[in-house]
Structure 1
Amino acid sequence: MPEDGKTPGRMGRAWAEVDLDALDHNAAALRALLPPGCQLMPAVKAEAYGHGAIPVARELNRLGVDDFCVATAEEGARLRRGGVRGDILVLGYTHPGDFPLLTRYDLVQTVVDGPFAGALEECGKPVRVHIGVDTGMRRLGFPAEEPGPIAGVFRRKNLRVEGVFTHLCAADTCLPRDRAFTLGQAEAFRRLIEELEGRGCAVGKTHLLSSYGLLNYPRLGGSYARVGIALYGEGSTRADTERWKDLLRPVLSVKARVASVRTLRPGEYAGYGLAFQAREETRIAALSIGYADGFPRSLSNGAGRVLLHGRGAPVVGRVCMDQTMVDVSHIPQARAGDAAVVIGSWGEETIRASETAEAAGTITNELLSRLGPRLERIPVRGQSFSGSL
């Protein structure tokens, strides 16, 4: 932090701060949970869940993390162009038109099924791959109960198989049904790996844990834990965030500038559709953030809130594309130019991303990954805030 205590960066109308100290803490905390022989493979897809993929991956590189996973080949290519080192696994489908990115940027592609394996083979160049296996999610991957087609991938001359993995789709709880399903997935995966090895296939790395797999089922093991939301200090739900609050620290905060403060007389309306009507004299502040920045429209009419001068200010009227109005009648010191906390802390008050996601009727993962590109991501070390920026 600079000597004047102010956050570096442009800090214009609205911005996000990414606390690298919190990221470092979470990486260390999650590493401590890893079973023997397992390494972190952070998920930095969707701009590292809205945090900024390149600065996050560079910081993790500095900590000795050299394996990452992304959703698309273009995401992997951007990391490479940003100087990120190590293996980068593309978890999703890549169109044949983008196959050149795989070899140009030394990416590892998931083989999602047999026809896709054939298309990769026909590109005519050696491609590094991991084989995706479906053990019950029914999304992508070869069916685990059919080892023959999977073994056939190992015989393709242009595919360099370096790993096999699956995805646990119910590991976010330990409820009896979900636990039984998760353990069943793990057992199906174990049997498949055993069958492939019995057929002489060098399976390489094996992995099945994501954030919740590591937190709830670390004994399932594997070569990698593909941690995503937990790395960023949150759970997918508010309850999960609360559950792990002593282990993980929130990495991201969002702040927005107060553009205007004005007073409504009783009976006056504000916002689109006359959605808010003042019952008494009401001071409202217009914030320079809206749904185009990732502040959901579903937070309209009191569903959402922000912090100003350490106090909560509820949303009034409808969230607009570029602006949001909040009630500051009880915050007399609120002025144009103040910075409001949309996600984060101010003194003793905190709004976690999971709280905002719950209020918006979604999960933390969606809320964070949909934060818009107009929010400049500003790396900081530690979080301290007084509102005078």
Structure 2
Amino acid sequence: MNSTRHAGALDIFRIYAAFLVVAIHTSPLWSFNETADFILTRIIARVAVPFFIMVSGYFLFPYIKKGDWHYIWRFCKKMGILYGISIILYLPLNIYAGRYNRSNFWLEIPKDILFDGTFYHLWYFPALLIGVVLVTLFVRIMGLRITFVISTALYMVGLFGDSYYGVARQIPFLNTLYDQLFAVFDYTRNGVFLAPIYLVMGGMIFNENKQLSLRTSMIGLAISSMLLIVEGLLLDHFSLQRHDSMYVMLIPCMYFLFQLLLRIPGRSSKSIRDVSLLIYLIHPWMIVFIRGFAKLIDQQKLLIETSLIHYLLVSILSIAAAGLISYIWQRGKKPLPSKDSRAWIEIDLEALVHNAQTLQKLLPKRCKLMAVVKANAYGHGDVVISKTLNQSGIHTFAVATLSEGIRLRTNGIKGDILILGYTNPTNVDLLRRYHLTQTVVDYSYAKRLNDSDKKIMVHVKIDTGMHRLGIDSRNLSELERIFNCNNLVIEGVFSHLSVSDSLTDDDIAFTNKQLDEFYKTIEILESKGFSIGKIHIQSSYGILNYPNIPSDYARAGLALYGVLSKNDKIRTHVKLQPVLSLKARIAAVKEIQSGEAIGYGRTYTAKTNMKIAVATIGYADGIPRHLSETNSYVLLHSKKAPIIGRICMDQIIIDVSYVDEVKANDVVTIIGRDGVEQIHCQDLAEKCGTITNEILSKLGSRLPHVFNNVHKDMAHTQ
């Protein structure tokens, strides 16, 4: 399974990029060596803004590709708000500098806002906004490759108005062209000429099936960086530059740099992203502050003219101010109780990734896992589970309802999302807006979807013997009519095995009959010229007992979460790890005398003097009410503590007579491991006479999720 899509190193490099921008505006090596400073600030540091733009292109591309204007609008709105705040932030400096005292104010201000930025570093925001809109339109209309060609052509036009302007000045018609362009904006390093190519490059890297090796990336970066420096020095030597933001070799340099960063492991961090953005925004104010302070204490020579000290002071103040602002912002948020203050679910994301990799290894090479994340990922937390799987290389998901699909999409989940259940045809527009794939269960339903006169992505479900949803495999005429629906874009065909969890002779024979029916139906449809798309029939037990079935996808549900039914026999030898634990706190500890009754209905009477504890979890949290009647227990201090009395809505009562040093706030484990003892979800299900699916899916909505081994930018979304 592809696990190379790391985002952590990209976040870390944001800080370096932010300090490179500070270097551009402070020239740290100027007082030591002008050539060295030129190489640093006018050549090497020019990777900073293209890097920021490429990161945006990398993460926006799946939404651009699918035309998710809702998400793109949200992104542009966020950037627009930041730009507006920045304009206000630097308005005092602009007024002080007399920037808006010019007679042509009403001509200059629109140009500044739309292209040049209202302060020298703010051009990034309008460039990004214009670039995103242009690239989205181009990709949707003409595709990624043609958009790359167009973006490259625009970049070349920009080059001759920037680093190669001296060449353009020697050609009359180009000289005239650029005179006209510079009447509209001051620089070609803007959203029309610079931003599109780097947005497209980010998108193309995201879209690549195979990334460069670490060695190739390093060699490519080293060579392209040296050529970039040579290019910059030659252009400066021959005085060809009008500005110095755009170079030919900057494109391959950025490509190899980005590929290298994707190969370096690192943790994604929202805090780092916030701080790097704040450094970029506020560092000019730090420059003004230091210059004013130096003048006040008459230390301009030390604090300003000694360029390295000036740079270091601006950098230190910028990161300190950014950290303080971020801290105040976080502190200003309304405080909430900690997630583990009462009762909670713990999720081990390393176990999740382990299970996904283990299941993938069982399958044929062409077959990929489709992660089933319906019912809040079986109680595990669908958004963070899906984001983790996205980062691990899984890009196909299955849900049960339209709202589940929309929730994943609006939280940034990339890839295909198949709705396994029914969606009202009146909601066709939502299927299209969020790029969701709908299951077709019969011709009547297919016709209602088709009558919307809008293209809808679908998978067709074939009933091979379970007799739940799907078109009977023998009803070929109905299947043909579905395949002839003009507005249904059929991307797959699937079925469901009803007894793949059983290895009795009779059930094995029935499963083989289902498989024969499924592949026979597909063969007939293909012989009639229909495009079947992707096929899938295995769920968790289908993977474990019939791993070699020739399919494109295998739907992994319970097995993905390390949960199977107790005592089930499976053909494959796999070691899956439980992902979920369920825990609660002790609220009170009491001494009970012999003969005293405990709980509602007085169903439990103490036979001897005993010590009991009340744990803060109950049937409102999904604990089955009759669990206390099944000789069940919880774990406390690595020992078993029997559940006694009836389960209450918010509490359970446990016998802790033989557990040492029990006190309020101690942690009780209902599902999971405590020391050498462990309670599996299947143990709980067996006690209650039900299946693990029911236990997990009924875990209460008031139970917060605590994610272990998680990137910080994911955990807050759940």
Q: Give how far 1:245 is off.
A: 8.8
Distance 2:651 2:553 in 1: 42
**Does 1:362 find its partner at 2:700?**
no
Residue 496 of structure 2 is matched in structure 1 by 167
Q: Give how far 1:52 is off.
A: 0.3
Structure of greater Rg:
2
List runs of 5+ in structure 1 lacking aligned partners.
2-7, 383-389
Q: 1:293 aligns with which of 621, 628, 644?
A: 621
Residue 253 of structure 1 is matched in structure 2 by 581
Q: 2:680 aligns with which of 330, 335, 352?
A: 352
Q: Give how far 1:298 is off.
A: 2.0
SS at match of 1:28: helix
Counterpart mapping for 1:151-162 below 5 A = 151-162=480-491
Answer yes or no: is the 8 Å Cα contact 1:272–1:317 preserved in 2.
yes
Amino acid aligned to 2:658? H
Distance 1:12 1:248 in 2: 29
Deviations 1:272-307 (A, max 9, x none): 111111111121111110111111112113532110
Amino acid aligned to 2:413? V
Distance 1:371 1:45 in 2: 14
Deviations 1:95-116 (A, max 9, x none): 2343332111100000011111
Q: Which has the higher helix share?
A: 2
**Does 1:219 find its partner at 2:568?**
no
Distance 2:569 2:390 in 1: 26
Residue 44 of structure 1 is matched in structure 2 by 373
Distance 2:395 2:640 in 1: 41
Distance 1:185 1:275 in 2: 49
Check 1:280–1:360 CA distance in 2 against 1; reply closer, same or farther (3 A cut).
Answer: same
Q: 2:391 aligns with which of 62, 68, 75?
A: 62
**Does 1:234 find its partner at 2:543?**
no
Residue 427 of structure 2 is matched in structure 1 by 98
**Does 1:108 find its partner at 2:455?**
no
SS at match of 1:221: coil
Amino acid aligned to 2:490? V
Q: Work out which structure has the larger RCO, using CA pairs closer than 8 Å and 6 or more positions apart in sequence.
A: 1
Distance 2:575 2:512 in 1: 25
Distance 1:281 1:196 in 2: 73
Distance 1:54 1:358 in 2: 29
Distance 2:485 2:343 in 1: 51
Residue 375 of structure 1 is matched in structure 2 by 703
Distance 1:301 1:380 in 2: 33
Counterpart mapping for 1:322-333 below 5 A = 322-333=650-661
Residue 141 of structure 1 is matched in structure 2 by 470
Answer yes or no: is the 8 Å Cα contact 1:74–1:101 preserved in 2.
no
Check 1:241–1:86 CA distance in 2 against 1; reply closer, same or farther (3 A cut).
Answer: farther
**Does 1:313 find its partner at 2:641?**
yes
Deviations 1:231-266 (A, max 9, x none): 00110x111399989510000101101111111111
Distance 2:534 2:639 in 1: 50
Q: 2:362 aligns with which of 22, 26, 33?
A: 33
Report the number of matched residues.
375
Answer yes or no: is the 8 Å Cα contact 2:544–2:570 preserved in 1.
no
Answer yes or no: is the 8 Å Cα contact 1:121–1:158 preserved in 2.
yes
Amino acid aligned to 1:126? K
Residue 662 of structure 2 is matched in structure 1 by 334
Distance 1:20 1:246 in 2: 18
Q: Give how far 1:9 is off.
A: 5.6
Residue 600 of structure 2 is matched in structure 1 by 272
List runs of 5+ in structure 2 lacking aligned partners.
1-266, 268-336, 711-718
Residue 296 of structure 2 is matched in structure 1 by none
Amino acid aligned to 2:449? L
Answer yes or no: is the 8 Å Cα contact 1:19–1:381 preserved in 2.
yes
Residue 385 of structure 1 is matched in structure 2 by none
**Does 1:75 find its partner at 2:75?**
no
Bigger CA drift: 149-158 or 237-246?
237-246
Check 1:333–1:302 CA distance in 2 against 1; reply closer, same or farther (3 A cut).
Answer: farther
Answer yes or no: is the 8 Å Cα contact 1:209–1:221 preserved in 2.
no
SS at match of 2:414: coil
Q: Give how far 1:137 is off.
A: 0.3
Amino acid aligned to 1:83? G
Answer yes or no: is the 8 Å Cα contact 1:276–1:301 preserved in 2.
no
- Calculate the aligned-residue CA RMSD, in Å: 1.8
